[in-house]
Amino acid sequence: MAVHTRCSGGRNARFTARKWGWLALLTFVAVGSRTAVSQPDETVPALLLHLEQVLISGQPDQYVALAAPSADREAAAQFATTNIAAGITHAAVRERERTPLPASSDGPAGLRLIVDVFTERGDRGIVSTWRLDLEPLPTDREARAADASETTPSPESNAAGGPAAPQEPAWAIRAQDRLSFVEGLYRLRLDRNQQYVANGLRIEAEDLRLNVRDGIVHLAVSDGGATALVVVGRGDMEFSPAPPAEKGQVRLFAGNETLRTRFVRAFVRINPGDLDDHLIPSRLGPARSVDASALAEAQEFFDSRVATSFSLDLSDLSRDTWSLVPSVGDFLMDVDTDRFGVLTYTRSQSDAEDISLFDRSNRKNIAVYTSAERLARRGRSYDHAARLAYDVYRYDVDVSISPDRAWIEGRTGIDLRVRAYALSALTLRLAESLVVRSVVADRFGRLLTLRVRGQNSFIVNFPEPVGRDEWLTLQVFYSGRLPPQALDREAIVLGPPPVVPQELEGPLFAPEPRFLYSNRSYWYPQATINEYALARLRLSVPARLNVVASGVLAPGSPTVAPDIAGRGPRKTYVFNATQPLRYLSAIVSRLTDVTSHVVARTDRGDDYVPSGRPGVYYDSVSLAVVANPRQVGRARALAGRAAEILGFYQSVLHDAPYPAVTLAAVDDVLPGGHSPAYLGILNQPTLPTALSWRNDPVSFDNFPDFFLAHELAHQYWGQAVGWENYHEQWISEGFAQFFALLYAERTHDRRAWVGILRQMRRSVERYPGQGPIWLGYRLGHLKGDSRIFRAILYNKGALVLDMLRQWLGDEAFFRGLRRFYDEARFRRVGTEDVRRAFEEASGARLERFFERWLYDDAVPQIRVTWRVVDPQDEYTTDTRFERSFRAPQGEASDAPTESSDGGERPLQLRVEQIGETFDLPLTVELQYASGERQRLLLRLARRVTNLELALKGPLRRVEVDPDEISLATLVEGSR
């Protein structure tokens, strides 16, 4: 598909439209505002109907006859020659927008129309957008046109039937321009007159093979050749992804690392030039006659699939399905299988991870990964934002929210800088239910927009390309119904709805209504990737409600305005976000100010601070606490603990990333939380329920502040430090969970702290084989169980960081942690950035540590044996044990020492790793006959480690992992 925009000076700028989503689904709908004018509406449709007839006539001079007396007839003739030619079999012209034109020296007052134009030549189509400047015809002709309009047929009569007699229009065309057009559209049809024998046919793509034992193939062709195939028959499908993590997901879905199933039908979309690369043999033998039953089955499957991929929704212009030819290298196949229903395999060059297998009916990603060729060229790490053609510097959001109607009406200003060499169009994200009224640019005025149907985005087209490093300011006006979102994955999800005793139902126990607009509701126009930007928010709500949002409340805010147009009094808040943030959030509810603190616990000292990083380093943070009326008492108790937690985090990282944080305690049935920049939201259960969340991986009964500590840690991890793609979500969740663990270590005794570690380890062991940490949101996706996501991403992520702390020692670890935070602050980063920071701070090589614990989900298997030997026996060890021990907080290190008389027999300890070798910290406890206990921290980096340790006295026993917190498995034979 080629999308073109009209440029100044008559030049055409051409760019290829990106395919959105996992299956490259392209569906567009034009959107725009309509401005009423004084002229009767019936006269404009008459002109547009006349234009349809002119297009079908194929005669450019008929268009020139519509030119106004003041028009440039040479320009009109050139426009007509470009856009009107013989062979057009159908045309549709639809008004999209109109604005009045003032009178000028060149002509009277008129109209400016933006119209969508669709023309067909057989099974080929072109859709374009024209700008037409109209002026009224002289009065006598207007009168005749008014009389004729009584019998003017509707535009639909032309679309449904044959050509209608043109009526005398009341308008003439003063000027015209084609703003943009999309060509290369095809109304694909199966060839019903020819079938091909598919016996022995193979259809192949990377990691996929379709073997057709016997069957029939039907083709649908474009100008370049076959672009769609339907196979009907019998055969086998085999899908075996190369990446180990994807093998694991296929095993969860299909029961085996290779998905094998029989199939009866397959639908293929392909670029004709790629046909030889995917079909073996590439030449199909024609069948002697057409099998009617196979044809009917092929047609039914074709009709059900052709509109779902590589198609445009032109329902306002045509009743047919219009498709695009896939780009070179793109491939899609829908396979109707015996075991799994229809599975969709895609290879999309525009996606960072270009291979996927998808269960469309159940909306499940089975496998998503990078092809071998791209992996070798790029590596597995990537940043989604690198694909953006522009950078947003600042958002200026002005929104009126009416929660009782779930209605939003607003304007958002976007200051952006172009990153591409020449930008002809850009995509912005906005909830599909919100209507884009208009988009205006400071340089170009009102712009053409295309809505992406089925997705939360729209396209803005420029009349000429914008060069690299040029600045633009867009103003987007929009409105519509938008329900508030639920809290993010921080919320504990148990499945069944809460059970409320009948006698407790009613307003007394109903949670206070609250309305959250945040990262998943797309409530304001924004970049398609959550990049960092500054912001100003101006939010208007009914006066009975309150707002807390991303940013610092402006002085004098809020203000109250009286009743306007029967809407009731309104309250307006202004928030300023002076530090970069990834997305904007607001919560609307009845909220009461509870208390406020200034937390100042930061002293940066001489720590490493990279130069050139955005944002300000703060030494203190203002903490405000608000609550629903029923939560005021509990919120007051939360305030002191929240201030202590924030102060502790500041002492660890020597920074407060945002100058202010507002903590909102809100009613809900289940605990949960959400923590955008500048804001923390905590569910406070008040409703009696039969549900229990004790077994949830993130519920710690012995440390009720753990949840609060996790949410506040997100101000650093997930907000101040962002992740570059979904694989890196552990940098948000795992780090936040680890910081809550650090706070628990600081405030609890060792026994309680170890209990939290043990609970984390057990939650990880509860879900073996579900995938590595690096799988991100897809953990638990196939089973629809978010507990798997929380157990592995949250808890295992935290345990891995704790193991890294043991491996490096406290000094090197915290030096590396602060280095990573400073380098990643207000950036999108990945696992490799984490590794490099700790390597540079410690001097250690950590490739294997990260490979095993982050990218793999294997579990180390160890066998430990020991014996006490006579010192006179000859014995040689492979290595001497490096004495090191991380003592619990407040206790002294008790490394092993030689006995005073030198007469104790040494201990020989052998640790063997079975299978893959891990970098594994492992605690061993020596228990002496005297009752004394001695703990040793082993750093295991070899398949076999032999140690000889001096004992303090008679040894009673050796206990491996005495706290039961290691992720390693102790195999049979250990003693």
- pLDDT value for 871: 56
Q: Is the pLDDT of residue 144 over 50?
A: no
Residue 634 structure tokens: 């509990």
pLDDT tens string 690-706: 444 567 777 887 788 89
Q: How far apart are CA 736 and CA 714, in angstroms?
A: 6
* Lowest model confidence (mean pLDDT) among 213-222, 546-555, 740-749, 876-885: 876-885
Rounded to whole angstroms, the Cα distance separating 859 from 853 reads 9
Q: Within 13 Å and on the Cβ side, how many CA atoms surround 715? A: 30
**DSSP characters for 807-857?**
HH-HHHHHHHHHHHHHHHTTEEE-HHHHHHHHHHHH----HHHHHHHTS--
Q: Are 914 and 862 in contact (CB under 8 A)?
A: yes
pLDDT at 11: 30
State how far the Cα of 955 lies from the Cα of 227, in Å rounded to an integer: 77
pLDDT tens per residue, range 662-682:
999 999 877 788 999 999 999
What pTM does this model have? 0.85
61 phi, psi to nearest 5 deg: -65, -25
Q: Which alpha helices (H) appear in 559-662, and where do they start and end? A: 632-653
Among 12-16, 143-147, 364-368, 780-784, the minimum mean pLDDT is found in 12-16
144-158, 250-264, 785-799, 856-870: lowest mean pLDDT where? Answer: 144-158
Alpha-carbon span 310 to 25, nearest angstrom: 5
DSSP 3-state helix, strand, coil percentages of the chain (rounded to 5)?
25, 35, 40
For the chain, first and last CA: distance in Å? 68
pLDDT of residue 36 exceeding 70: no
pLDDT level of residue 491 (50, 70, 90 thresholds):
very low
| pLDDT at residue 449 is higher than 70 | yes
Which of 525, 120, 476, 32 has the alpha carbon at shortest distance from 314? Answer: 120
Q: Which pLDDT score is estimated for 522?
A: 95
Q: How confident is the model at residue 387 (pLDDT cuts 50, 70, 90)?
A: confident
In this structure, which amino acid lies at residue 170? A
pLDDT bracket for residue 497 (50, 70, 90)? very low
Return all residues near 830 (Cβ < 8 A) that are at least 6 apart. 381, 383, 723, 724, 725, 727, 728, 731
Dig out the tokens for 632 from the structure: 């005021």
Q: Distance (Å, rounded) from C-alpha 62 to C-alpha 88? A: 15
Q: Specify the pLDDT at position 408.
A: 96
Supply the pLDDT for residue 883: 31
On whether the CB atoms of residues 149 and 42 are closer than 8 A, the answer is: yes
What is the amino acid identity at position 456? N
Q: Tell me the β-bridge partners of 195.
A: none
Side-chain half-sphere exposure of 878, counting CA atoms within 13 A: 12
Q: What is the mean pLDDT of residues 126-131?
A: 88
Please report which confidence band the pLDDT of residue 688 belongs to, taking 50, 70 and 90 as the band edges.
low
Mean pLDDT, rounded, for 317-346: 94
What confidence tier does 17 reach under pLDDT thresholds 50, 70, 90? very low
Q: What is the pLDDT of residue 840?
A: 97
Whole-number Å distance between alpha carbons of 633 and 187? 66
Burial of 237 (0-12, 13-18, 19+ CB in 10 A): buried
Higher-pLDDT residue of 33, 309:
309
For the segment 873-897, the average pLDDT, to the nearest whole number, is 36
Q: Running DSSP on this structure, what letter comes out for residue 498?
A: P
d(CA 228, CA 307) in angstroms, rounded, equals 12
Beta partners for 664? 626, 681
Whether residue 913 contacts residue 858, with contact meaning beta carbons closer than 8 Å, is answered with no
Confidence of residue 974 (pLDDT cuts 50, 70, 90): low
**Inter-CA distances, 355 with 78, 342, 369, 684, 775, Å:** 46, 17, 5, 42, 15
CA-CA distance, 713 to 643, in Å (whole number)? 12
User: pLDDT tens for residues 914-946?
Assistant: 999 999 999 999 999 999 999 999 999 999 999
Here the tokens at position 733 are: 């969740």
Cis status, amide bond into 281, omega within 30 of 0: yes
DSSP for 660-727, written as a single string: EEEEEEEEESS--EE--TTEEEEEEE-S--S---TTSTT--TT-TTHHHHHHHHTTTBTTTEEESSGG
- Residue-averaged pLDDT of the chain: 85
Give the model confidence (pLDDT) of 562-621 as tens digits. Answer: 877 777 899 999 999 999 999 999 999 999 999 998 988 766 655 556 666 778 889 899
**For the residues of 508-571, what is the DSSP string, one character each?**
TTSPPPEEEE-TTT--S-EESS---EEEEEEEEEETT-EEEESSEEPTT--EEE---TTS--EE
Return the pLDDT at 169.
66
Rounded-to-integer distance, Cα 723 and Cα 604, Å: 25
Nearby residues of 938 by Cβ (< 8 Å), 6 or more positions away = 881, 911, 921, 922, 923, 924, 945, 947
| Lookup: tokens for 102 | 């003032």
- pLDDT of 493 reads 38
- Rounded CA-CA distance 967/975 in Å is 18
Sequence-ordered list of residues with C-beta below 8 angstroms from that of 432, at least 6 positions apart, any chain? 451, 453, 454, 455, 456
C-alpha span between 852 and 261 (Å, rounded): 32
Residue 880: pLDDT above 70? Answer: no
Phi and psi, residue 484, nearest 5°: -70, 160
* Sheet of strand 920-928: strand arrangement: 933-940, 920-928, 955-960
Report the pLDDT value the prediction gives residue 273, as an integer from 0 to 100: 93
Strand partners, 367: 357
Q: Which residue has the higher pLDDT, 511 or 9?
A: 511
| Burial class of residue 816 (count of CB atoms within 10 Å of its CB; 0-12, 13-18, 19+) | buried
User: What pLDDT, on a 0 to 100 scale, did the predictor assign at position 161?
Assistant: 46
List Cα–Cα distances, 818 to 54, 610, 653, in angstroms: 70, 11, 6
600 versus 336: the higher-pLDDT residue is: 336
pLDDT of residue 564: 72
